[in-house]
Structure 1
């Protein structure tokens, strides 16, 4: 059924981040971007301007609520269905606390409560949820299930993670980098790890901000070729660089942001031994950082295993993993506000 189209992190302390980014109160800005009623299944479906708007809204909410202590019941009377086929700390906590902080009511549904396409068809599930909630965030195994839910629902469907994409994680990553560097344009992202849903989401969005991407994956663990092809098109259109390699140091060379993720995702436990062998040499260490840019930082969406990144990097002052984790809350709040309301930010738009 068709639908209508429509930061400041703890690492800055108090209000210093707002000053550094030039974020100031002003009259509400009526953006030309209208996201109300849309689905968020993949950042492929969003322009650079639309993604910028969600980050701008994230910074606005974070500053007004966290720094200024304002109460903004923007989702008063709204309800959210949360379908979790896969467990999660950050996705569940950020969504539940964020939606409630804005005055809404989140309802958590596990595989014990709802079996997508098993006890009830996806079509029937979508129609029932549409009649009882205002939006659904679904953390699922298959992207195809999300696509069916979105097709059949009359409310916004948000991808909380699938086998193909993890868009809400990338929004948190970009807000974190925006806060740290002051701008995203021109940054070089160095991915070292699996060709997974996180990398796919970066590939669908980085070039739209003018960011370059250097990705290293082991042989046999490269990203989806169709996504690579589209990412190459984005890079060409936006004048950015996209390079793919099997050499971690080559991907890290000159990179501003070193990024990795788990090598063994939920559902891949039987591949553990094989994967650990394939990813030998992919651990991010200070040796990796030595070839990166002088202002390098590190991101990991968590949970982290020591074989992916050593303690020296993970707990170093260059690591942004904990501000990154917190920003999952502010970005998912911005997503819900942008898809469910006509709210306009009162902070001046940051420089992207």
Structure 2
């Protein structure tokens, strides 16, 4: 496997290996300084980022490499240079290429033209690195992934939910996605994830009922109600639609007593989650 463009690019074995490696690097953050020695890694971020950018830059430096950060004004894409030419040039200078942008198709084009690994650091459709980090958190906080369950409540059609669905399907974690009908995963997305899950004995459920979704789960997950790139004029209508899906103390009480609360951040207290929950003892944010 050359690239990581979506979580399902990984096999179950790949994902387990990646989780084990991440756990080891976390325990030994300064013991791998030569992995990228004398190498550079290019990062092109066409969307704002706090955690993803810092995570990648920190990891590259700790592995002995040099991160080269680029934004939209740093490349010639806006002046007509093709994605393919850009990818080929960057491949000559960098060990890998990390991209955060809007269209999933653009990342696929970069990967097709590049001769070095391309890593998707978020598109409108996928956020694979987030899903790997989420599984590592779930494993650490609950003692393992076997027999675990998680509920994603809110905009269950977004990129984070989709990648989490794929990650859970690959590892056998039971997942319930919950939201209004218009914001549940598309039927073809659910069908593909369920096919993956069947190979691992995992269960994938979609529901409109938040109380039923979180019943007895080990983790409750949510995300913002209006994602980057969503039209701002939809805010009022979206918030009215999403109000029943707020994660609050009453909803958390329906999960396991020792359930954890997860959020990919940034969060908006008082919208998708209350301050009582995100700042409370069950939160692992």
Q: TM-score range by the shorter chain?
A: over 0.9
Residue of 178, 192, 207 corresponding to 2:169: 207
What is the match of residue 281 of structure 2?
Answer: 317
1:72 Cα deviation from its structure 2 partner: 2.5
Matched ranges for 1:88-127 at <5 A: 88-114=49-75, 116=77, 119-127=80-88
> Secondary structure at the residue paired with 2:181?
coil
Taking the TM superposition and a 5 Å limit, the aligned residue runs for 1:1-352 are 5=1, 38-65=2-29, 70=31, 72-114=33-75, 116=77, 119-194=80-155, 195-268=157-230, 269-306=232-269, 307-321=271-285
Change (3 A) 1:118 1:225: farther
TM-score normalised to structure 1 length: 0.77
Change in CA separation of 1:131 and 1:108 when aligned onto 2, cut-off 3 Å = same
CA shift, 1:126, in A, is 0.8
Write the distance in 1 (CA, Å) between the matches of 2:32 and 2:168.
Answer: 33
Range with greater deviation from structure 2 (266-275 or 311-320): 266-275
SS in 2 for 1:244: strand
Change (3 A) 1:284 1:116: farther
Contact 2:98 2:121 in 1 (8 A): yes
Residues 183-232 of structure 1, C-alpha deviations (whole Å, 9 max, x = no match): 11111110101111111111112022111011101121122332211111
Cα deviation for residue 265 of structure 1 reads: 1.2
Distance of aligned partners of 1:193 and 1:286 in 2 relative to their CA distance in 1, 3 Å threshold = same
Deviation string 1:259-298 (CA, Å, 9 cap, x unpaired) is 0011111111232122112111111011101111122101
Alpha-carbon separation, structure 2, partners of 1:82 and 1:60 = 24
Question: Gaps (5+ residues) in structure 1?
Answer: 6-37, 322-352
Instruction: Give CA-to-partner distance per residue, 1:139-189, whole Å, 9 cap, x none.
Output: 010100011111111000000000111000111111111111121111111
| Aligned mates of 1:187, 1:147 — CA distance in 2 | 32
Over 6 Å off, 4+ runs: none
Give yes or no for contact 1:189–1:257 (8 Å, CA) kept in 2.
yes
Could you say if the C-alpha distance between residues 159 and 289 of structure 1 is closer, same or farther in structure 2, counting changes exceeding 3 Å? same
* Cα distance in 1, alignment partners of residues 124 and 53 from structure 2: 18
The TM-score with structure 2 as length reference comes to 0.95
Q: Distance in 2 between matches of 1:118 and 1:313?
A: 46
In 1: Cα distance, 2:283 partner to 2:172 partner: 23
* Partner Cα distance (1:298, 1:118) in 2: 44
Q: CA RMSD in A?
A: 1.4
Report 1 or 2 for greater relative contact order, CA contacts < 8 Å, sequence distance ≥ 6: 1
State how far apart, in whole Å, the 2-side matches of 1:197 and 1:262 are.
11
Query: Do 1:203 and 1:227's aligned partners in 2 also have CA atoms closer than 8 Å?
Result: no
Post-superposition shift, 1:117?
6.6
